[in-house]
Amino acid sequence: MSDTTDAKPQSKAVFVKSYGCQMNVYDSQRMADVMGAEGYREVATPEEADLILLNTCHIRERAAEKVYHELGRIRELKQTAKSEGRKVLIGVAGCVAQAEGEEIVKRAKYVDLVVGPQSYHRLPDLVARAGIQPGVVDTEFPVEDKFAKLPKPAEAKARSRGISAFVTVQEGCDKFCTFCVVPYTRGAEVSRPVTAIIAEVEALAEAGVREVSLLGQNVNAYHGEGPNGGEWTLARLLRRLAEVPGILRLRYTTSHPSEMSDDLIEAHRDLGALMPSLHLPVQSGSNRILAAMNRKHDRDSYFRTIDRLRAARPDIAFSSDFIIGFPGETDADFEDTMELIRQVGFAAAYSFKYSIRPGTPGAEMDGQIDEAVKTERLYAVQALITSQQRAFQQSLVGQTIEVLFERAGRKFGQQVGRSPYLSPVQVMAPSSLAGRIERIRIIGTETNSLNGELVDPISARAVQAAE
């Protein structure tokens, strides 16, 4: 029947917009979950929402400006709603909230609440307070574990997460690279306890998830409390999660090169479920710049780590991050970066112009690089990376790879999944393949995806399954 006859008060709606990293995507889901427990349903557009949350990122340039710009647009929605007799609350979460704090409500008075990444479990209370008295700010680093207080995915009415899900296992960073705000916005390194992670992954598997990506700013530095006390490494955690029924694939990101321990490399050798694809940001190929960045690794140790991983898992592919134009970067330093890229050969990489983050040591350094020089170097590095990326995609043509299918494609009869290397793969198939791994022969490439065909005829598999 129509819900107009329903005597219950209409549920409220929350819209969460995520910027930046996958950890924010995960946090956004958890914010929607925690508000879901308060009767808020999640909606896909801000126009429909009673509570609009921007989950912001502060890692690179103009982050705060982008947020203020977006807030300006949302303010109009709030005003329109008010003229229709509806109250809309606006909240800013994430790393810009942490970094700017009170400044946000001073500069944008129509913002009702500001909440830092460590306080999301307090959101219902903050929203209630903001409803009475706007301008609530909570950017503390509380001692309690926010994950323990947030609803478990299963409790969150098993909201569909699709085939692939993120699970944050570690937050924060103690490395203090001199360019980076993360240690200041996300705080010190904290690992979640093993039991909580296993329970979450089991619940996801029961809800149909087949691939889990473990997230952390420094995920390979994971050192969570084990079920019987003692600390578990990431490798041990991965070995245990590979045993969870239903979980077919595991990934983890983002890693620090200095934390690629022997046991983690051995996990790559031993665990079929651990995908042969690793994001290992190097930032620069110059030892001088790596030292100035306080990276705690040099180019040779990076090469050695790559070699050890390739020996353990010959089909492994690497991706990385590069910062171009860090203070003091000479042409020779930049050439070292280009040479490192040529030597490793990446399947993908992200490159960014260095951007000053106020409060970090890099901001105070002499030798800031001219914008035009940064731009020129960035183009050169991006051209090289693009050519490597194309070569990698092309190298898969003719190969048979395993694809985990996720959903129907745009074309009729098409199914879309992901390769072990995360590229989307399209095939034509007689029925849905969602949630299954199939062997696919790659027959061609598109700009950002691969075309393939099923190697094992579906009918043969159906017979096998029936046996």
Give residues in contact with ligand 5AD (CB under 6 A). Answer: 59-60, 179-180, 281, 283, 321, 323, 352, 354-355, 357
Token pair of 24 as six digits: 């924010």
**Rounded least distance, CB 59 to ligand 5AD, Å:** 5
Compute the C-alpha angle 86/88/94, nearest 5°. 170
Residue pair 277/326 in contact by the 8 Å Cβ criterion: no
Rule CB under 6 A: is residue 177 a binding residue for ligand SF4? yes
The CB density around residue 276, as the number of other CB atoms within 10 Å, is 17
CA proximity to 145, closest of 182, 109, 170, 177? 170
330 known ligand binder: no
CA proximity to 168, closest of 128, 230, 216? 216
H or E segment at 185? helix 182-185
**Shortest-Cβ-distance residue relative to ligand 5AD:** 321
57 known ligand binder: yes
Token pair of 435 as six digits: 């949630």
Rule CB under 6 A: is residue 99 a binding residue for ligand SF4? no
398 known ligand binder: no
Nearer to ligand 5AD, 62 or 342 (CB): 62
Rg (CA), the chain: 23
**Rounded least distance, CB 215 to ligand SF4, Å:** 12
Among 119, 168, 218, 220, contact with ligand SF4 (rule: CB under 6 A): 218
Rule CB under 6 A: is residue 323 a binding residue for ligand SF4? no
Considering only the stretches 170-178, 224-232, 234-242, 349-357, report the one whose residues sit in contact with ligand SF4 under the rule CB under 6 A.
Answer: 170-178
Sheet with 89-93, side-by-side order of all strands: 40-42, 12-18, 51-56, 89-93, 113-115, 136-138
Rule CB under 6 A: is residue 379 a binding residue for ligand SF4? no
**Rounded least distance, CB 320 to ligand SF4, Å:** 12
Nearer to ligand SF4, 92 or 173 (CB): 173
Q: Is the peptide bond before 195 cis (omega within 30 degrees of 0)?
A: no
Nearer to ligand SF4, 15 or 166 (CB): 166
Token pair of 323 as six digits: 């910062």
Residue pair 147/192 in contact by the 8 Å Cβ criterion: yes
Distance of alpha carbon 262 from alpha carbon 281, whole angstroms? 18
**Rounded least distance, CB 353 to ligand 5AD, Å:** 6
Distance of alpha carbon 405 from alpha carbon 211, whole angstroms? 10
Rule CB under 6 A: is residue 212 a binding residue for ligand SF4? no
Rule CB under 6 A: is residue 362 a binding residue for ligand SF4? no
DSSP class of residue 404?
E
Q: Which does 224 bind (CB under 5 to 8 A by kind): ligand SF4, ligand 5AD, none?
A: none
Distance of alpha carbon 457 from alpha carbon 465, whole angstroms? 13
Give the chain's end-to-end CA distance (angstroms, integer): 44
Among 55, 98, 217, 393, contact with ligand SF4 (rule: CB under 6 A): 217
Distance of alpha carbon 418 from alpha carbon 277, whole angstroms? 12
Among 113, 156, 180, 201, contact with ligand SF4 (rule: CB under 6 A): 180
Distance of alpha carbon 445 from alpha carbon 453, whole angstroms? 12
Please list, in sequence order, all residues whose beta carbon lies within 8 angstroms of the beta carbon of residue 115, skipping any fewer than 6 positions away.
91, 92, 93, 97, 122, 123, 126, 137, 138, 139
Site track 429-448 with ligand SF4 (rule: CB under 6 A), x = hit: --------------------
Binding to ligand SF4 in span 237-266, by CB under 6 A: 256
**Rounded least distance, CB 320 to ligand 5AD, Å:** 8
Q: Which does 173 bind (CB under 5 to 8 A by kind): ligand 5AD, ligand SF4, none?
A: ligand SF4
Q: Which does 323 bind (CB under 5 to 8 A by kind): ligand 5AD, ligand SF4, none?
A: ligand 5AD
Among 36, 46, 183, 417, contact with ligand SF4 (rule: CB under 6 A): 183
DSSP class of residue 351?
E
Please list, in sequence order, all residues whose beta carbon lies within 8 angstroms of the beta carbon of residue 134, skipping any fewer than 6 positions away.
89, 105, 110, 111, 112, 113
**Rounded least distance, CB 183 to ligand 5AD, Å:** 11
104 known ligand binder: no
Among 12, 152, 161, 175, contact with ligand SF4 (rule: CB under 6 A): 175
Nearer to ligand 5AD, 113 or 180 (CB): 180
95 known ligand binder: yes
Residue 138 dihedral angles phi and psi, to the nearest 5°: -135, 100
Please list, in sequence order, all residues whose beta carbon lies within 8 angstroms of the beta carbon of residue 266, skipping any fewer than 6 positions away.
235, 312
201 known ligand binder: no
Binding positions for [4Fe-4S] cluster? 21, 57, 95, 173, 177, 180
Binding positions? 21, 57, 95, 173, 177, 180
Site residues, ligand SF4 (CB under 6 A): 173, 175-177, 180, 182-183, 217-218, 256
